[in-house]
Amino acid sequence: HHAKVAGQDALSLVDQAWIESDFIPTVQQRGAAIIKARGLSSAASAANAAIEHMRDWALGTQGETVSMGVYSDGSYGITQGLIYSFPCTCENGDWAIVQGLSINGFSQEKMSATETELVEERDAVAHLLK
């Protein structure tokens, strides 16, 4: 909804049906696709994402917005205290959730589904953390 490709709105470059029927399922299955293609674990991909996350946090994003898994402060209606992927900027070792982005109905639906899944996963293991 807010992505840019070479300065253009990404959504103007693709069809909404493609996003829903091809892109989102592909992203959801990326771990399995990596395992199938390489015959190896997708752990290297996850490790690379963790390295990039820490780099952005420590060295800053130079004003660019990145997605980061951080504690929710209730922004965008997401349950406070839940670790959730938000649009963030980083500077001087601190991160901040980008506020005020408009969220369309389709995106809100997907965000809510992700929130529900994360709450269920958190609650399923909560007894192990006591």
Confidence (pLDDT) at 43 = 79
Which has more confidence, 53 or 45? 53
Does residue 53 sit within a domain? no
Give the residue among 62, 109, 70, 113 at the shortest CA–CA distance from 89: 62
Burial call 108-119: b when 16+ CB within 10 Å, e when fewer: eeebeeebeebe
- Please give the tally of structural domains in the chain: 1
Which has more confidence, 21 or 82? 82
Q: Provide the 3-class DSSP secondary structure of residue 96.
A: strand
* Confidence class for position 28, pLDDT limits 50, 70, 90: confident
Question: In terms of pTM, does the model score above 0.85?
Answer: no
Confidence (pLDDT) at 126 = 92
Does residue 111 sit within a domain? yes
Domain range holding 91?
61-130
Average pLDDT, the chain: 91
Does residue 73 sit within a domain? yes
* Confidence class for position 11, pLDDT limits 50, 70, 90: confident
For the segment 106-123, the average pLDDT, to the nearest whole number, is 94
Assign residue 88 the CATH number of its domain. Answer: 3.90.110.10
